[in-house]
A and B are shown apart, each in its own frame.
Chain A
Amino acid sequence: MTASPPDDCCQIAARLRMDVVQLSHEARTPHLASCLSCIDILTAVYFGGLEIDADTIHEPDRDLFILSKGHAATALYAALTRRGLWSLETLASYNTDGSLLPEHPSPGKLPGIEAATGSLGHGLPIALGRQLARRIQGTPGRAVVLLSDGECQEGSVWEAAMVAAAQRMGTLAVIVDANAWQATARTAELADNTTLVGKWRAFGWRAVEIDGHDCAAVADALRAVPRDCQLAAHPQQPLAIVAHTVKGKGVSFMEDDNNWHYRVPTANEVLLAATELGVTPDPLLARHAVEAAS
């Protein structure tokens, strides 16, 4: 599956949404709404925004994408599969005994998983270290880190932000999946996030605010990140893309309902979601055929 935004974006995003709904149901795992909020972002990352594909995934100068909000692992797994990096059988093994795909990405086992994440606030320092190493080695390439807005409460995010700006790491970008919720509360109730853009700017970054469900806009923003910032013409400030999203996006009864941070959809809810998304569930991802019927 390949695409050039925006035309095919919606179809790809609908398939990825169907995948994560199915996987949540099949494996009985939470964080579905957190996955749905970043599906359009991942579509932009893997289908037009960055240069990541099966042919170049082991090249040292490839673009790097790190899912720092590791609890959206099934969204990453589905995107890597639909991009052609993994087989559907691999995706279907999600969270089964002995599988390479736990509920948070594990390191070094499968192409495209660039860091083990799950504990929040780890992805940006790792990405910055990789970019500093590639600068030392003279290797070009972008690095993009997806953070959740709740994750921006972790101090290590801002430790890395300060160093990245001081290092003029223009090849580095973050996307904040700003769905305004965290696990148990509105993000703004726990920590001020009304000024996320201002915070990144105050830390020395360029920052833009966009609609996180506008796949083409996200891809455009990513394509503007230089693969090499040694040239004077290129911006040397890292870029923060604050992407406003809706948690649970794409399935009406999950949208902006934080119960779906932990809830697992029933078989009937999977079918309802399929109808809304206009995509049929992938039979290769089916696991609990008997249970699903009950």
Chain B
Amino acid sequence: MRNAFAATLTELATADERVVLLSGDIGNRLFDPYKQACPGRFLNCGVAEANMTGMAAGMAMEGLRPFTYTITPFATLRAMEQIRDDICYPRLPVVIVGTGSGLSYASLGPTHHSCEDIAMLRSLPGMTVVCPADRAEVTAALPEILAHDGPVYLRLGKKGEPDIHEALPAFEIGKSITLRPGHEICIVAAGPIVTLGLDAAAILADAGISCRVESFHTVKPLDTACLGEVFQQCQIVATLEEHSTIGGLGGAVAEWRAERPRLRGQLERFGTDDRFFTQAGSQAFLREAAGLTAEAIAHRLLAAHTLLPEPC
């Protein structure tokens, strides 16, 4: 995903002289083509994320379109007040890019995990939160993000995520992408973990249950048209994310669902628990520890489906 980000941003910056890329001492070789194409519009800000974020705000005030880029917790939590006061309060078009989100950097330990960022960023007034599922969605999303007149948080994985789309999807901020049709259960997923949703849907299909899967790439603003449809049509709607169930996509959908008691679908949320992952391990190991495997998801959804009341 980060390679798709670097390549697409290089194209966009070549065509648009307002684009400027600020990096927090990361991605040096990754951005070599960018630096060649746009000398003077790459700035390695060093290990000083609060300053990088404040500088990005200042650059946007002067009409530039800054992207700040570093590992997710440093791009977001570390500079949270600068994001709120300097970027969101004046509603400036700065794009905050977090790389290695969720448990992408599992083996680096909890300081490099990021399971709280969506909750924090989406609470900021005027902030848009985009979590692409694969490199095609990154490539398709970036021109829309650049055209967006306001702050955006772009949540990336790292590299080597499975491709979900064969071609570039039509991408609209706030409009979910249907990956698989179905009508009994719907899994709405934010980010690359949607692949587990697709695998779980296949398992459910083998059990005779029709399961729809959505790449719900924008957590804010929520695609409420899509939610209204799936909660009306399906008996179970499940959220899936590599993020805490507190405040992330699951939290956002739960807030929305709670105010609509007449909707049919019941909500199941899949994400990380209220804990740190203190054991060393790979992303797959930590996902499993969190109950985030296709089998575990399908099993829980099957159980929930079995317990549903008979239609009268």
Contacts and interface: CB of A to CB of B under 8 A. Distances in A.
B54 A156 contact: yes
B62 A107 contact: no
Nearest to B50: A156
Interface in B56-98: 56-64, 66, 81-82, 85-86, 89-91
A121 B66 CA distance: 21
B53 interface: yes
Interface stretch (A130-138, A243-251, A271-279): A130-138
B86 A126 contact: yes
Given A125-B82, A136-B20, A130 B51 contact: no
B20 A126 contact: no
Contacts of B58: 115, 125-133
A133 B57 CA distance: 10
B55 A132 contact: yes
B226 interface: no
B202 interface: no
Contact of B64 (A107, A116, A119, A136): A136
Contacts of B53: 125
B43 interface: yes
Interface residues of B, number: 30
B209 interface: no
Given A126-B55, A128-B58, A163-B55, A156 B82 contact: yes
A179 B45 CA distance: 32
A160 to B, nearest CB: 5
B41 interface: yes
Interface in B16-74: 20, 40-41, 43, 45-46, 48, 50-64, 66
A114 B90 CA distance: 11
B81 A133 contact: no
A205 to B, nearest CB: 15
Contacts of A121: 50
A125 B68 CA distance: 14
B51 A125 contact: yes
Contacts of A160: 48, 51, 54-55
A111 interface: no
A84 interface: no
A126 B60 CA distance: 10
A227 to B, nearest CB: 15
A15 interface: no
Interface in B119-138: none
A127 B46 CA distance: 18
Contacts of A107: 89-90
Contacts of B43: 132
A119 B85 contact: yes
A68 B58 CA distance: 13
Contacts of B55: 125-126, 128-129, 132, 160, 163
B41 A136 contact: yes
B243 to A, nearest CB: 27
A198 interface: no
A156 B41 CA distance: 23
Contacts of A139: 62
A159 B48 contact: yes
Contacts of B20: 133, 136
Interface string A160-189: 101100100000000000000000000000
A70 B53 CA distance: 19
Given A132-B43, A132-B59, A126 B89 contact: no
B82 A122 contact: yes
A128 B48 CA distance: 13
Nearest to A108: B90
B59 A129 contact: yes
A116 B51 contact: no
Contact of A122 (B41, B48, B56, B85): B85
Top 5 nearest A-B pairs by Cβ distance?
A129-B58, A125-B54, A129-B55, A133-B62, A159-B51
25 contacts: A60-B62, A107-B89, A108-B90, A115-B58, A116-B86, A119-B81, A121-B50, A125-B52, A125-B55, A126-B58, A128-B51, A128-B55, A129-B57, A130-B58, A130-B62, A133-B62, A133-B63, A136-B20, A136-B64, A137-B63, A159-B46, A159-B51, A162-B46, A163-B45, A163-B46
Interface of B: 20, 40-41, 43, 45-46, 48, 50-64, 66, 81-82, 85-86, 89-91
Interface of A: 60, 106-108, 114-116, 118-119, 121-122, 124-134, 136-137, 139, 155-156, 159-160, 162-163, 166
